[in-house]
Amino acid sequence: MTILSENISSHASFFDFKPESWNELVPEDSVFQEWEFLSTLERAKCIGEGGDWGVHILAYTERDQLLGLFPFYKRIDSYGEYIFDFQWANAFHRAGIPYYPKFTASVPFTPVTGARILLSPTLNEEKKSEVATSLLKSYIEIGDKTGVSSAHILFCKEEELNYGKQVGFVPRVTHQYHWINKGYDTFEDYLSCLVKDRRKTIRQERKKIEASGLNIQTLVGDAIEDKHADTFYNFYADTHSRKWGQAYLNKTFFKLIFQTMKHRIHLVLASDSDGNPIGGSFNFYSGDYLFGRYWGATSHIPNLHFECCYYRLIDFAIQRKMKRVEAGAQGEHKFLRGYEAVPMYSLHHIYHESGSKAIYDYLEREIKMEEENIASYNSHSPLKALRKV
């Protein structure tokens, strides 16, 4: 631990903190900022010293009470972030300016919106602003002293934008596709809100899966067993080996996370008639929010991906009256199944003066384009209500 000021200290490990103290500051919609998830990444050596994600944590305390936390990472590339800045890095390189290392505040390998500045729920609005801006000022100052090219805050919540703007960050808008619960009572109730051809297609997809003879289970809580860690790691590793090359997560992470966060895990597991697992999705949930994360299959079964990654999650969300299902990056398949285009926010601070001007000018133009894109996508949505907007 390093003391930076009267209230702010800097740490290099999640194990510097007690789980209960950390988690008191994590809101319900930010499950991947919970101590168990982040510390498991560190313990499994997916992040940490000597790797691509060097851990840094700013803590704000007052009279020995933890009021704010701001985890961030020193990066030597941009892989696993999903708010793409490769063009910025290339422009810096062409100009002879190093873009790496940089600082990034996000959840490693996890393109999910959530609180990036963790604040005590006991604070009033004025104190929240004071703590948040103090942490962000320290973030910028450390970057300046360290000599990184830039400091980024990715997939932050909309209400955090104002904190960032107050201390010199510039916003960026991209988009994802999320399923929003409009108060549906059943899956058929949801389908009734889609245009006719999409209703027909989804029903056909689900009927084909039902007729396939597969046993598909949704598993949470005590229904999850230790053996499922191996099963879903194998799915995950197989998917990455075929599509994306080297996997970000390792088997140790899967083993540990099934122990530390079993109460947050939601699995959809498909097995053949002999009981052999052949595919499924690995998801997390907290309160009113369900997050689709990892998918894999050892055999190609038409429509199995849609059933495991979309329809079973929607079923679960409707049953539990959840507000939202997020399924990460990319979107065509989600959009066609009634997921809405929604804005994703990030904040950026570029230290190099000429580089910052070019990027900030670009971001200003990009925001307008993204807002138009989101409106255009939703105007063609399978959801009848959105088409009327």
Q: pLDDT by residue (tens digit) across 98-153?
A: 999 999 999 999 999 999 999 999 999 999 999 999 999 999 999 999 999 999 99
- Which residue in 346, 44, 265, 147 sits closest to 14, CA to CA? 44
Q: pLDDT by residue (tens digit) across 292-307?
A: 999 999 888 999 999 9
- Provide the pLDDT confidence category of residue 51 given band limits of 50, 70 and 90: confident
DSSP string computed for 183-212 = S-SSHHHHHTTB-HHHHHHHHHHHHHHHHT
Q: How does 170-196 read in b/e, with b if 16+ C-beta sit within 10 Å?
A: bbbbbbbbbbebeebeebeebbebbee
Assigned superfamily of 182-322: Gcn5-related N-acetyltransferase (GNAT) (3.40.630.30)
- C-beta of residue 346 within 8 angstroms of C-beta of residue 104: no
What residue spans in the chain does CATH classification 3.40.630.30 cover? Answer: 2-174+343-379, 182-322
Enter the DSSP assignment of 383: B
- C-beta of residue 383 within 8 angstroms of C-beta of residue 193: yes
DSSP string computed for 123-168 = --HHHHHHHHHHHHHHHHHHHHHHT-SEEEEEEE-GGGHHHHHHTT
Q: pLDDT by residue (tens digit) across 208-258?
A: 999 999 999 999 999 999 999 999 999 998 876 555 556 799 999 999 999
Is the sign of the CA dihedral 185, 188, 194, 195 positive or negative?
A: negative
Q: Pairing state of beta strands 8-11 and 277-286?
A: unpaired
Can the peptide bond before residue 343 be classed as cis, meaning omega within 30 degrees of 0? no
Assigned superfamily of 2-174+343-379: Gcn5-related N-acetyltransferase (GNAT) (3.40.630.30)
Rounded Cα gap, residues 61 and 67, in angstroms: 5
